[in-house]
A and B are shown apart, each in its own frame.
Chain A
Amino acid sequence: MKKMSKPLILAAVLIFCAGFGTAWAGNIVIKGSTTVLPIAQKTAEAYMKENPDISISISGGGSGNGIKAIIDGTTDIADSSRFIKDKEVQLATTKGQYPVPFAVAYDCIVPVVHPSNTITDLTMDQLKAIYKGEIKNWNQVGGPDRPIVVISRDTSSGTYEVWEEKVMKNERVYPGALLQASNGAVAQAVAKNKNAVGYIGIGYMNDDVKPVSVGGVVGSSETTLNGTFPISRPLFMFTNNWPTGDIAKFINYVMHPEKGQKLVKDAGFVPLY
């Protein structure tokens, strides 16, 4: 065992050095929201392909952790699915940091039903009551006399987070709701069940499910961008101070209508333009 330890230490030291080595050659660290993660990943991959000398490392951990990291100075860019809170701004200023937000995309969650369902519109209150298990039959909201099968997402997903915040107003989805683990699985389950209601990111909409307008507003890129569709939110990347150098170039790439924003759309989100 003793003989083994020397090469091991040497190897560890070498790996450490290698780690710092790449840090000198244009390294960008991104941390934060798992919702923004696919955007960060896709744009970072494409960016690194165009600029091989830049290496970008990305990790999740949630919006709160990302913003905490930018305040502590342990990341270059923080992904966040919400705006920075007053408390966090105060904490940042006491530490001499100045977080700058960049809206990079919009998240738009559309309620969907089976194509045979006659329902075309639900209000936010109706949606909330359905997901709380208070409305159990479609005829209570003007539809056919059929039980409502509520389909929700796993509680750790970003899509669920939007739903919980905007529709449920942080009350709980009732335990009888069916759980699916992805946007695609929700669409599939709704397409196969004439009683079902679900919600999916606008990028996953297909012809097998029928979108429902919310309070008369149809969920689309336009209604998301002009702020009339209620189940939507901007997604942010925060930098520390106004970005310069490599970080500024990367942010510009993400915001670029032909480059980053195309990838935003591919990832199932609403691009800025």
Chain B
Amino acid sequence: MIFSQKYKDRWMKYFFLTVATASVSILVMITLFLFMEGIPIFQKLSVMDFLFGEYWYPTAEPPDFGIFPLIAGSLAVTFLSAMISIPLGVLTAIYLAEIASYQFREIVKPVVELLASLPSVVIGFFGMVIVAPFLQEVFDVATGLNLFNAALMLAFMSVPTICSISEDAIYSVPVSLKEASLALGATSLDTIVRVTIPASISGISTAVILGMSRAIGETMVVLMVAGGAAMMPGSIFDPVRPLPASIAAEMAEAPYRGDHYYALFAIGIVLFAFTFMFNIVADYVSNRYRQVGEATL
């Protein structure tokens, strides 16, 4: 019996070890594959020419594999969507955690989170069919499929992430901190701005970065509403082509293991580097500015 108990323990340990390492090993394998399929393009052109080349004509003779307009498109869309989603998400979170009544919070929070469960193709279709003609009419621009439309749609998608995580962070600020502030005669607004937000800033920053990392990797929405012009955006109503849109539009028909195919995987590497960076920063921020105990503020 002692043996069987011992073995049972050991087997359980191995079983859980396998399960825990499965996702890690899958990630490692996908990354490996990504690099194996992407690196060969750099035999044809230098990394600098790839990253900072101005023209993306992968099927022309001779082809141009410059992804700078694509990177610019991705960054512009992500930045603009963050400008919309950060105030929306964080202010909603503050309201829900600090001001709203318990009942209201219990209704609104799940609804906001439900927004995250909308399939991206639905949001993309909404942007294409409803928002694009609207923008075109109201702002009198040439096309409604542009940077602003894409940023707006991506903001819809990252608001739930930002709101939900920041709300948790704000809500978990110890009550004694707030009580101390109020007892000193500070108003509610002062307490929120000077005490609650600084105390939960690490959680809020993590939320913002995760929301942005979702926006930069999102494919379907930008493919449908960003317009897809591979040029440097001059205004927020210019069409752009973010990195994922290029991969999604062209991968299906790129000749297997041709230069175009390798170049698309190399774009994947760049995209991976971006999201990886975002996650590292999120991790760092959440550890660096973590509120430990109640006395450190």
Contacts and interface: CB of A to CB of B under 8 A. Distances in A.
A149 B142 contact: yes
Contacts of B249: 154, 179, 181
B230 A192 contact: no
Interface stretch (B41-49, B57-65, B114-122, B155-163): B57-65
B221 interface: no
A60 B256 CA distance: 9
Contacts of A154: 249-250, 253
Contacts of B228: 178-180
Contacts of B255: 60-62, 65
Nearest to B144: A193
Given A149-B142, A155-B58, A178 B253 contact: no
B204 interface: no
B280 interface: no
A192 B229 contact: no
A34 interface: yes
Contacts of A180: 228
B239 interface: yes
B129 interface: yes
A183 interface: no
Interface in A151-184: 154-157, 160-161, 170, 172, 175-181
Interface residues of A, number: 30
Contacts of B132: 192-193
B115 to A, nearest CB: 25
Interface residues of B, number: 37
Contact of B253 (A157, A179, A188, A193): A157
B75 interface: no
A180 B260 CA distance: 18
Interface in A117-169: 147-149, 154-157, 160-161
Contacts of B241: 179
B128 A175 contact: no
A43 interface: no
A14 to B, nearest CB: 26
A34 B45 CA distance: 27
B139 to A, nearest CB: 13
Contacts of A156: 58-59, 250, 252-254, 260
A196 B142 CA distance: 8
A160 B60 CA distance: 11
A102 to B, nearest CB: 23
Nearest to B63: A155
Interface in A191-209: 192-193, 195-196
Contacts of B145: 178, 189, 193
B143 interface: yes
Interface of A: 34, 60-62, 65, 147-149, 154-157, 160-161, 170, 172, 175-181, 185, 188-189, 192-193, 195-196
Interface of B: 55-61, 69, 128-129, 132-133, 136, 142-145, 223-224, 227-231, 238-239, 241, 245, 248-250, 252-256, 260
12 contacts: A61-B255, A156-B254, A175-B69, A176-B239, A178-B227, A178-B228, A181-B249, A192-B128, A192-B144, A193-B132, A193-B144, A195-B143
